[in-house]
Amino acid sequence: MSLARKIVFIIALLVFLGAGSVLAHHYITGWMASKELSDLGNLEAGKDDLVTDKGIIDAKYVKLYKKNHDVIGWVKIDGTKIDYPVMQTPEDPEFYLRRNFKKEDKISGVPFLDKDSDIFAPTGNWLIYGHHMKDGTMFQNLLKYAEEDFYKEHPIIKFDTIYKGGQGEYQVVAAFYSQIYPEDEDVFKYYTYAGLTGAKQLDEYMAGVRSLALYDTGASVTEGEQLITLSTCSYHVPGKVGRFAVVAKRIK
């Protein structure tokens, strides 16, 4: 092998090894971030409920709350990697977009509740955001609901608020692709209904959701039924504005 070829080979090898190490670091970092959050779900339940100025925290979540007062709930979908705490910081809505549960910088972030959603009022729709991580963590598994067969096998989303009586199960109503639109564009924007209240807004929201639904679940929604909407990024449109969402209603 000539000297020139040896040099080219060595450079190519270094590039390959460098790319491989970056990819490995990405997946290891994502796995560790996901594991840190999932491990929080294994915290031993407290012995007693905790009375706070906002409400009574269920004993199951007292230790979690004491670790970080920003936590407001827990979301889980059996058969997926989605099993995470849910945060909310209305004064800084996207605080956990790139921070972990310990408030440290972390690209995967932590699922968080939209600032306009209120678990105490409550608003009729709780909008929860989570990253679409390439390693399959956070809300990446949410996109499996694009397939009707997956929905049929996983029709229930579990979401608990940490407060007494807030533990519940939600039946999937619809799954759909959407995107972030310019403010002046007159089109259904599901992400503007995080603070949904009243029958009129509910009808508007569900009409928009139905128009985008990928399949018919047969589930109807009436006023007074609590909704959750899980939202993540999707790459079906250019410009990082694509979104995928799943809407579910409380049944238990």
The CATH number of residue 189's host domain is 2.40.260.10
- Cβ-count burial of 220 within 10 angstroms (0-12 exposed, 13-18 middle, 19+ buried)? exposed
- Is 166 among the domain residues? yes
- Is 200 among the domain residues? yes
Q: Domain range holding 86?
A: 70-250
More reliable by pLDDT, 47 or 146: 146
Residue 227 · residue 249 · CB < 8 Å: yes
Average pLDDT over residues 159-176: 97
- Is 86 among the domain residues? yes
Q: For 211-237, how does the pLDDT look when each residue is reduced to its tens digit (9 = 90+)?
A: 999 999 999 999 999 999 999 999 999
User: What pLDDT, on a 0 to 100 scale, did the predictor assign at position 11?
Assistant: 60
Q: With bands split at pLDDT 50, 70 and 90, how would you rate the model's confidence at 46?
A: confident
Can you tell me whether residue 50 is helix, strand or coil?
A: strand
Report phi then psi at 17, rounded to 5.
-65, -35
- Is 62 among the domain residues? no
Domains contained in the chain, number: 1
- Is 177 among the domain residues? yes
3-state helix, strand, coil in the chain (%, to 5): 30, 25, 45
- Is 15 among the domain residues? no
Closest C-alpha among 88, 94, 86 to residue 110: 86
- Is 195 among the domain residues? yes
- Is 91 among the domain residues? yes
Average pLDDT over residues 38-59: 86
